[in-house]
Chain A
Amino acid sequence: MRFTTKSLILSGSMFAAALAFGPDAAVWAQDATFVMPSDDVGAPSYDPIRGTKLNAATSLIYDRMVIQDADQSFHGQLATEWESSDDGLAWTFKLRPGVTFHDGEPFNAATIVWWVPQFEGTENAFMTAAIESVEVVDDLTVKFVMKNPDPNLLSNMASIFMGIPSPKAYDAMGADYGVTAAVGSGPFTLQSFTIGQETVLASNEAYAWASDLSENQGPPHIKTLTLREISETSTAFLELRTGGVDMLLSVPTDFLPQLEAEKSITVGTLPGTGIFYIPINTTVAPFTDIKVREAAALAVNQKEILDNLFGGIGSEANNFLISSLLAADVDPKLNISYNPDRSNMLLEEAGWTMGADGVREKDGTKLQVALWTQNGTEFKRVTEVVQAQLKAVGIGADITVFDSATINDQYRKGNEHQLAVRSYSWANADIIDWFFAGSRLGYPNVSMWNDPKAEELNKIAMTGSRTWEERVANFKAYHEYVLGQFVFAPIYQPVQSYAYSTDNITLPKTIRGTRIQSQTIVDITVN
């Protein structure tokens, strides 16, 4: 076949014209594909009320009453103003006018009256536990009558679990809600959701109620946003490098040098909001013995992991909370740090003597335990190093790698796991309640810890604080008690890193909020 210059020019012009004026041209040009953080992989639904694991798309589908900035200040999203009574027993919220859900239903005071009681009986009930009732002041004003003062109320309201769904859609769909459809008032509407694979969102063209953390107060610039779930970091990295995706919402630290070497990729960091840790199942031998728990916790060499697996980026974790939280500032003696001598001594005291194969024994039983982890490069690497560190003090560990979508169900069985490598992302001290309250045995309480004194301290911390300072002190006391019982071993506190293709998208100059969520994504433009 021969091409003449004329025919080439003609066909080229037609192609250019099709791109410029074709009906789908604008939409095609404003599509973007992001990869969710690996922690988010396997989230089974977009039901913020009943869900216990939500992913990064949740903040795009649902708006919250308030959102939190990096400086911990609160900014209105569906609420415009709020105030608390002097005794902390009443909160009044003014609601934003003109907001509609994706199904066209209006957002108003009646929505809040319906929404708050929905949490009763769910695993997220603690978020609204302090609210006695919701009273309608007028169509756009509600008053929360509190059972007890809750200085954490705004922080709860800023959680993605407090995304507000359309009451009509929620009631109509029942148990299917969040799986087959999810209807919020956020900047994107849910088009499709395949668990463990991807979520496709479309711009909510009616959106005009972004918070003041966003420059763009209208609909998002991205018209179709695909959020892919890729558990293997190396695959996600290759996708970004080869142009298959435009942005990784989370980048493991060990990939940062490789990404920074790429000319068309920009890497950014935000303060960390999570911890890698090892829950210790307190109900299964040998970890029913606190000495063995302490020995296992002290065998973990946090610095070795930080320096060698994460290139020194981030920090060692020595307790359960991220260091920016005041309740993380516990008595230094209670922090859990690498101490192999004490670890060995405790195991000897507990009757476990070193065997010929380097694994301790007691009454003919080997100190061989189950160490669980989930798919994902970081998890597997940290777990293998932890396995070697435990072996160094004579604790043999058999690793089992589970799919991230199913591991929580495995934990719920309660007595099959002994140790696990996990992580959480949460910037509030009430994460201690989430992972250690006796009411959540199995999962999230993977440590299976149910202790009367801890429950008492939990109750005081969760519901007995009148002021923020009192809450910090109560959580600190609860945190210190948890630390002293060695129900977990802290490992690592990562920073939040993200990477994006500068050829494909442009991010706002300043990233607002505690992580990359709707307030940033509505500002992202496609190049």
Chain B
Amino acid sequence: MAALDPIKKAIRSPRGAGSAAVLVLVVACALFAPLLAPYAYDIQNLPGANTEPGWTHWMGTDEFGRDLFSRIVYGARTSLTVAISAISISVAAGLTLGAMAGYFGGPFDRAVTAVVDLTWSFPEILIALILIAIIGPGLQSTMVAISIAYLAQFTRLTRAQIMALKNETYVEATANLGAGHFHIIFRHLLPNALTPVIVAGMLATGDAIILEATLGFFGLGAQPPTPSWGAMMSSGTAQIFIAPWIIIFPGLAIALTVIAINLFGDALIEALDIRNRLRSS
């Protein structure tokens, strides 16, 4: 399939292959968590709290005696679900808004640009914190907050792409043949503008994992006992001198996942030759 060719090409590079392997592992953890986790993630065993890593508990236990490995495996599900859902929503909304603004121009474009520029001027974490303060903490709130926080990025990128493409000859020809606006946008412009947005979405997923972990660290993301890597690190800070593994392993999980996403994103950019395409456009 031609659509998978860039991915195959990216995987052929050492950087792409290594990062893809890590990502497959993380996704497998998320998908098969109930099979991979040796213990239930929420069963407490208070007398066994803060047990060091060993044969019984490979990554030790947390302050409630819960198996840390099991919680990290389930935590992958939380992190990936939140990050991928949030970025998917954000990409879909950004593509639509950016395409409409770029294609139609005029007051609608000015209004969208003004709002996007306003949100673009704040860091994503600040926007997410404000939104969660309004809608309340929780997993769904975190998804909504992250998707809105990243909306500006995808809207701007799509709008720029559409503005560059809408004056191409083939678009004018399609219009002259009587095609409607929505036909032009969705059949001709968006497919050609999609690739850089998808790659940006891929890279933003890594950032979204960090943002989810940050919100979890502040107690605003997934609520206990649902495992979230950020929340696990937060509770580990209280035990840092007596059970450092509680903070180390979730930290490593976040770092590995985000590095893998970024490296794979880089490999994908090279495979798609996006930099040159953007330069030429």
Which of B192-200, B203-211, B232-240, B272-280 touches A? B232-240
| Closest A residue to B44 using CB positions | A388
CB B239 to nearest CB in A, in angstroms, measures: 8
Given A388-B42, A388-B64: A308 in contact with B47 (beta carbons within 8 A): yes
Which of B80-88, B111-119, B171-179, B217-225 touches A? B217-225
Most central of A254, A307, A308, A385 by chain B CB within 10 Å = A308
Asked if B251 is at the interface (CB within 8 A of a chain A CB), the reply is no
Proximity string of chain A (364-378) to chain B, C-beta cutoff 8 Å, 1 when within and 0 when not: 000000000001010
The one of B46, B136, B219, B237 in contact with A304, judged by C-beta atoms closer than 8 angstroms, is: B46
Asked if B49 is at the interface (CB within 8 A of a chain A CB), the reply is yes
Residues of B within 8 Å of A309, CB to CB, are 46
A148 to B22, CA, bound (A): 76
CB B246 to nearest CB in A, in angstroms, measures: 11
A383 to B235, CA, bound (A): 13
Asked if B164 is at the interface (CB within 8 A of a chain A CB), the reply is no
* A258 and B46 form a contact (CB under 8 A): no
Which of A325-333, A395-403, A434-442 touches B? A395-403
CB A287 to nearest CB in B, in angstroms, measures: 20
CB A506 to nearest CB in B, in angstroms, measures: 26
| Closest A residue to B48 using CB positions | A308
* A398 and B242 form a contact (CB under 8 A): no
| Closest B residue to A235 using CB positions | B237
Asked if B63 is at the interface (CB within 8 A of a chain A CB), the reply is yes
Chain A contact-residue range equals 20 to 34
* B242 and A258 form a contact (CB under 8 A): yes
* A384 and B137 form a contact (CB under 8 A): no
* A385 and B223 form a contact (CB under 8 A): no
* B225 and A384 form a contact (CB under 8 A): yes
* A401 and B64 form a contact (CB under 8 A): no
Asked if A232 is at the interface (CB within 8 A of a chain B CB), the reply is yes
**Interface SS majority for chain B:** loop
CB A340 to nearest CB in B, in angstroms, measures: 15
CB B134 to nearest CB in A, in angstroms, measures: 12
Proximity string of chain B (234-274) to chain A, C-beta cutoff 8 Å, 1 when within and 0 when not: 01011111100000000000000000000000000000000
* A308 and B223 form a contact (CB under 8 A): no
Asked if B138 is at the interface (CB within 8 A of a chain A CB), the reply is yes
Residues of A within 8 Å of B137, CB to CB, are 400-401
| Closest A residue to B138 using CB positions | A400
Q: How many residues of B contact A (CB 8 A)?
A: 23
A to B contact number (C-beta, < 8 Å): 53
The one of B47, B136, B220, B224 in contact with A399, judged by C-beta atoms closer than 8 angstroms, is: B224
* A308 and B49 form a contact (CB under 8 A): yes
| Closest A residue to B238 using CB positions | A234
Residues of B within 8 Å of A391, CB to CB, are 42
* A380 and B44 form a contact (CB under 8 A): no
Residues of A within 8 Å of B220, CB to CB, are 401
* B219 and A398 form a contact (CB under 8 A): no
The one of B44, B219, B240 in contact with A385, judged by C-beta atoms closer than 8 angstroms, is: B44
Residues of A within 8 Å of B138, CB to CB, are 400
Asked if A233 is at the interface (CB within 8 A of a chain B CB), the reply is yes
* B136 and A400 form a contact (CB under 8 A): yes
| Closest B residue to A257 using CB positions | B242
| Closest B residue to A398 using CB positions | B223
* B224 and A387 form a contact (CB under 8 A): yes
A398 to B224, CA, bound (A): 8
Residues of A within 8 Å of B63, CB to CB, are 381
Given A384-B224, A388-B42: A377 in contact with B64 (beta carbons within 8 A): no
A377 to B239, CA, bound (A): 10
A186 to B257, CA, bound (A): 56
| Closest B residue to A391 using CB positions | B42
The one of B42, B46, B49, B237 in contact with A234, judged by C-beta atoms closer than 8 angstroms, is: B237
A316 to B45, CA, bound (A): 19
CB A386 to nearest CB in B, in angstroms, measures: 11
Residues of A within 8 Å of B49, CB to CB, are 308
Residues of A within 8 Å of B42, CB to CB, are 388, 391
A444 to B44, CA, bound (A): 32
Task: List CB contacts (< 8 Å) of A57-112 with chain B.
Answer: none
Residues of B within 8 Å of A385, CB to CB, are 44, 46, 64
* A234 and B240 form a contact (CB under 8 A): yes
Proximity string of chain A (302-345) to chain B, C-beta cutoff 8 Å, 1 when within and 0 when not: 00100111000000000000000000000000000000000000
* A399 and B44 form a contact (CB under 8 A): no
CB A404 to nearest CB in B, in angstroms, measures: 11
Residues of B within 8 Å of A235, CB to CB, are 237
Given A388-B64, A401-B137: A383 in contact with B240 (beta carbons within 8 A): no
Proximity string of chain B (8-51) to chain A, C-beta cutoff 8 Å, 1 when within and 0 when not: 00000000000000000000000000000000001110110100
A377 to B237, CA, bound (A): 10
CB B173 to nearest CB in A, in angstroms, measures: 57
Given A234-B237, A234-B240: A383 in contact with B47 (beta carbons within 8 A): no
The one of B47, B219, B240, B242 in contact with A380, judged by C-beta atoms closer than 8 angstroms, is: B219
* B219 and A375 form a contact (CB under 8 A): yes
Residues of B within 8 Å of A401, CB to CB, are 137, 219-220, 223
* B225 and A387 form a contact (CB under 8 A): yes
Proximity string of chain B (60-90) to chain A, C-beta cutoff 8 Å, 1 when within and 0 when not: 0001100000000000000000000000000
| Closest A residue to B236 using CB positions | A234
The one of A233, A254, A258, A388 in contact with B225, judged by C-beta atoms closer than 8 angstroms, is: A388
A254 to B43, CA, bound (A): 21
Given A308-B46, A309-B46, A385-B46: A400 in contact with B223 (beta carbons within 8 A): yes
CB A516 to nearest CB in B, in angstroms, measures: 23
* B242 and A384 form a contact (CB under 8 A): no
Most central of B46, B224, B235 by chain A CB within 10 Å = B224
CB B221 to nearest CB in A, in angstroms, measures: 10
A401 to B223, CA, bound (A): 8
A380 to B238, CA, bound (A): 11
Given A400-B136, A400-B137, A401-B137: A377 in contact with B224 (beta carbons within 8 A): no
Given A400-B137, A401-B219: A383 in contact with B241 (beta carbons within 8 A): no
A304 to B137, CA, bound (A): 29
| Closest B residue to A258 using CB positions | B241
CB A447 to nearest CB in B, in angstroms, measures: 22
Residues of A within 8 Å of B237, CB to CB, are 232, 234-235
* B223 and A399 form a contact (CB under 8 A): yes
CB B99 to nearest CB in A, in angstroms, measures: 38
Residues of B within 8 Å of A400, CB to CB, are 136-138, 223
A384 to B224, CA, bound (A): 7
Residues of A within 8 Å of B219, CB to CB, are 375, 380, 401
Given A304-B46, A400-B138: A377 in contact with B238 (beta carbons within 8 A): yes
| Top 5 closest pairs, chain A to chain B, by CB | A308-B46, A234-B238, A401-B219, A388-B44, A234-B237
A–B complex contacts, Cβ < 8 Å, 10 sampled: A232-B237, A234-B237, A234-B239, A254-B238, A258-B241, A384-B64, A384-B224, A387-B224, A400-B138, A401-B220
Inter-chain pairs besides A232-B238, A387-B224, 18 sampled, C-beta below 8 Å = A254-B238, A258-B241, A304-B46, A375-B219, A381-B238, A384-B64, A385-B46, A385-B64, A387-B225, A388-B64, A388-B225, A398-B223, A399-B223, A400-B136, A400-B137, A400-B223, A401-B137, A401-B223
